[in-house]
Amino acid sequence: MSKSALITGVTGQDGSYLAEHLLAQGYQVWGLTRGQANPRKDRVAKLIPDLNFVDGDLMDQGSLVSAVDMVQPDEVYNLGAVSFVPMSWQQPELVTEVNGTGVMRVLEAIRIVSGLGKSTGGSDGHGQIRFYQASSSEMFGKVAESPQSERTLFHPRSPYGVAKAYGHYITQNYRESYGVYGVSGILFNHESPRRGAEFVTRKISLAVAQIKLGLQEKLLLGNLDAVRDWGFAGDYVRAMHLMLQQDEPGDYVVGTGQMHSVRDAVRIAFEAVGLDWEEHVVIDPALVRPAEVETLCADYSNARKELGWEPEVHFEQLMQMMVESDLRQAGRERDHGELLAAASW
């Protein structure tokens, strides 16, 4: 019989790639969606016709119990979150509720549906439903060492990072307290043509396409010196799945081990269409964050060794892929009046 998976955050970048990956592996896939007439649900349903949907919200415990009980999944992937870091200074309570407490609610739903006791003690006898938590390199924040591994101390620099650290520890705690098979993937930044338009790589690729076609002149950015370890989302969902196929649950860092600055991303993207970035980029101090994560770089040797995982797409290819995709969309927008960011997938 085929395995089944429930994905929270299925309307997001990673959720869509993961759903495609699991369907290709023969899974029955269910996506949790929230809200009335959510336009992102229509978008992902159109993209992935074999995907099933169930209603639920990370803010609503009862809806999560119902969803897990109805689907009876073999695997739950908790990708749902308010994922844009600056939002977490504007709405810290919401972000704590969704990204932090929301993780506990999914674990509670699994515990209740699996009939795991209030305290089974120890980590033996893992429950049947396996759980993946989308942890983040933002938890490292002001880094204590470079590169960062599973053993590096956390020093989060945003309410987002603090909430993700809670989600990380509560996953470990349900593993130790109730025997839930729960893992966290500590994923570094990953991008794609499906990336939200508010994140820096996509903001750049969209602007480059518009500027190339004469639809826009300037690109406003914040800190060009910030350094990240950027990979391709399609590669990273393979690692999520592999983590849940191991005999014993564990936490894994996933990244490329390569560092690039925002300035590098800008240069590569403009070069891809034969333009000089310095003629178009303007620094807007309002886009600089109250507490910045200056630099991140993954030591993913455990994932390589234990999961046999390697990234396949390199940073230059990734930026070029995004620019090419947005250029095609910008052309369609110019010729047919389609909405650019919304129409990209």
Asked if 319 is part of the footprint of ligand NDP (rule: CB under 6 A), the reply reads no
| Cβ atoms of residues 144 and 153 within 8 Å | yes
Consecutive H or E run containing 190? strand 190-191
Asked if 82 is part of the footprint of ligand NDP (rule: CB under 6 A), the reply reads yes
Q: What does 262 bind: ligand GDR, ligand NDP, none (CB cut-off 5 to 8 Å by kind)? A: ligand GDR
**Binding string, residues 266-285; x marks residues near ligand NDP by CB under 6 A:** --------------------
- Dist. CA 96–CA 93, nearest whole Å: 5
Inter-CA distances, 251 with 22, 50, 105, 124, 144, Å = 20, 30, 20, 17, 19
- Dist. CA 242–CA 294, nearest whole Å: 30
Instruction: Please pick, among 83, 136, 137, 158, the residue that the annotation labels catalytic.
Output: 136
Looking at residue 342, its amino acid is A
| Cβ atoms of residues 236 and 187 within 8 Å | yes
Can 181 be counted among the known catalytic residues?
no
Can 136 be counted among the known catalytic residues?
yes
Can 316 be counted among the known catalytic residues?
no
Token pair in block for residue 129: 């439903």
Inter-CA distances, 296 with 212, 225, 253, 293, Å = 31, 12, 12, 8
Asked if 156 is part of the footprint of ligand NDP (rule: CB under 6 A), the reply reads no
Binding residues for ligand GDR, rule: CB under 6 A, are 83, 85, 136-138, 188-189, 198-200, 203, 221-223, 226, 228, 262, 287, 289, 292-293
Residues in region 95-134 near ligand NDP by CB under 6 A: 98, 134
Instruction: Return the number of the residue (179 or 255) whose C-beta is nearest ligand NDP.
Output: 255
Least distance to ligand NDP, CB of residue 122, Å: 29
Q: Judged by CB under 6 A, which of 28, 73, 77, 83 binds ligand NDP?
A: 83
- The number of residues that bind ligand NDP (CB under 6 A) is 26
Cis preceding-peptide flag for 147 (omega within 30 of 0): yes
Footprint of ligand NDP on this chain (CB under 6 A)?
Answer: 8-9, 11-15, 34-35, 38, 40, 57-59, 79-83, 98, 134, 136, 187, 189-190, 196
